[in-house]
Structure 1
Amino acid sequence: MADMDTQSPGGRHGGKGTTSTKKSTRVDMTPMVDLGFLLITFFMLTTTMTKPKTMELIMPRSDGDPMPLSDKKALTVILGPDNRIAWYEGIGDDPAMPPQVNYTSFANKNGIRDVIIRKKEAVYRASHKNELMILIKADKAAHYENVVDIMDEMLINQVSRYAIVDIGLKEAAYFQ
């Protein structure tokens, strides 16, 4: 609480005449500190904590039988060293028909985004559904930034079906 000193000074003049009296003002901060802690406690208890944002993860079937995937609905993207990208249509698992490998980059024009858009439109025209499946394979020498960039491309192009798959020896040789 605030205290006021009201004692008469009784100075040199013995109390005669008019002298100015100095009054000390001391403010007790205890109630202010109590109020501060009460407010902090109130806002801590009443605030809403942020809810964790999670990504939906679709796991493979437990019976081990993979879903069939048509080459016409698949696009394989291979991330290589030095920010290079190789891609081909289909899965590329037929030894009688090896895939035709093309190279591109993350450029705004004639980059991987244009490849994804063209393939997505071709799949939609053929099946009247958004059934494009993109297989992403990253070389050991690929930059982590490139993996993040290709995931951003999936989000930008609204590709709902994609998978990060282990790269094979044959695909790793495309960058040698």
Structure 2
Amino acid sequence: MAELNSSPQNGGGKHKCKKMNARVDLTAMVDLAFLLITFFIMTTTLAKSKAMDLAMPVGEQSEPVGASRTLTVCLGKNNKAMYFLGELKNPIIAPSITDFKADGIRKALIDVNKKVRDKTGKSMIVLVKPGDKSQYSNLVSTLDELAITGIQQYAIVDIKPEDVDALKQKGI
């Protein structure tokens, strides 16, 4: 079988090479890529946020809470906290320093809660007051310890100047 070349030849007898367009059809590869992306999106578990439920009261409480049931935890610097039962001016349990280990704040919460329950017959209320130099992780640790010890009534409130002065006196 012969091939007919209709293009004119050059004077030197050389044939002009005809360039072929190299075209690759990528449709199948794109289809495969989208199938793989879809597969991995459907089969992977998306990261679920780890958050603690925090229910804050709406409005003011109708009945006042006695100081004999109120434990105040002031968070200071260097991973330390100060706690006292009652009012700072006239505390039922004097201000004490503790840390965030299991034998620190957890033991204090359990002991004071037992003392309050034995004395008043009601549950203890904890006021958590983070200081300016406290770390956010300390607040989270305190909320975790409240959940572990089963204390249901607590509030995060602003720290007062007299609490800041007490923290400074204690060195935290």
Give the shorter-chain TM-score range. 0.5 to 0.7
Matched residue, 1:5: none
Q: How far apart are residue 65 of structure 1 and its match?
A: 4.8
1:97-136 aligned within 5 A: 97-98=90-91, 100-109=94-103, 111-126=104-119, 131-136=123-128
- Partner of 1:75, secondary structure, is strand
Structure 1, unaligned stretches of length 5 or more?
1-27
- Partner of 1:101, secondary structure, is strand
Matched, 1:80 2:94: no
Structure 1 residues 44 and 81, CA gap change in structure 2 (3 angstroms): closer
- Partner of 2:78, secondary structure, is helix
CA distance in 1, matches of 2:162, 2:154: 21
Matched residue, 1:7: none
Letter in 2 for 1:101: P
Percent identity over paired residues: 38
- If the length of structure 1 is used for normalisation, what is the TM-score? 0.62
1:149-168 aligned within 5 A: 149-168=141-160
CA RMSD of aligned residues (A): 3.3
Matched residue, 1:40: 37
Letter in 1 for 2:162: K
- If the length of structure 2 is used for normalisation, what is the TM-score? 0.63
Q: Which of 55, 58, 61 is the aligned partner of 1:61?
A: 58
Letter in 1 for 2:152: S
Structure 2, unaligned stretches of length 5 or more?
1-24
How many residue pairs end up in the alignment? 143
